[in-house]
Amino acid sequence: MNRGIIITISGRPGSGKSVVAKQLAKKLKLKHYSTGTFMRAMAKQRGMTLMQLTREAKEDGGVIDRAIDDYQKQLGKTKKSFVIDGRLGFHFIPQSIKIFLEVDPNVAAKRIFKQQRRGVETITTMYGAQRELKKRFALERARYKKYYGIDYMNKKNYDRVIDTTKSTIQGVVKRILKFLKGKGKRREVL
């Protein structure tokens, strides 16, 4: 598998993109990159939360988005094999195998609320997680349509779509590995 394969993992917030991408990279013995990690580092460097950075990105004329875009483009041009999680990886690394992770919004909010307890997010209530997730989703989706004319939620952009709502991380990774081994780049929605 490691003779030149780039896999982009996109999906809704809370769908498990980062965890799935890390586990998949580990199984395939590939390097893992994450636009979420890049954004969190950028937010921390600026002394703000991820939601504050997302709001600023809406108003900054594309400065933050271009930094994230350039990060992905550079990886796609300079690295031969890796796994990256990020909503627009499929767009900026077109030669990749494109995976989209779907999830029920309520399950996503529960997952994000659990992350808060591990110090990843700063959300204190389940209602707060649902509210922030809805805002973040709307802001990002509108921004991507404005700047790129694309809807990352359009399943036609992807080679494989997997609903993670009732799946374990290991189960999702197994499904991706099976797809990679048996189906190649043929588009499938499950």
Rounded distance between C-alpha atoms, residue 69 and residue 3, angstroms: 25
Per-domain boundaries in the chain: 6-108+153-189
Q: What is the pTM for the complete model shown? A: 0.82
For the beta carbon of residue 108, count every other beta carbon within 10 angstroms.
24
With a pLDDT cut of 90, the percent of the chain lying above it is 54
Report CA-CA distances (Å) from 155 to 57, 66, 98, 187: 25, 24, 10, 10
Task: Yes or no: say if 18 and 108 are a contact pair by the CB < 8 Å rule.
Answer: no
Query: 38-42, 58-62, 75-79, 180-184 — which is least confidently predicted?
Result: 180-184
Look up residue 57 and give its two tokens.
């990105």
Domain 6-108+153-189 belongs in CATH node 3.40.50.2300: no
> What does the DSSP 8-state code read for residue 153?
T
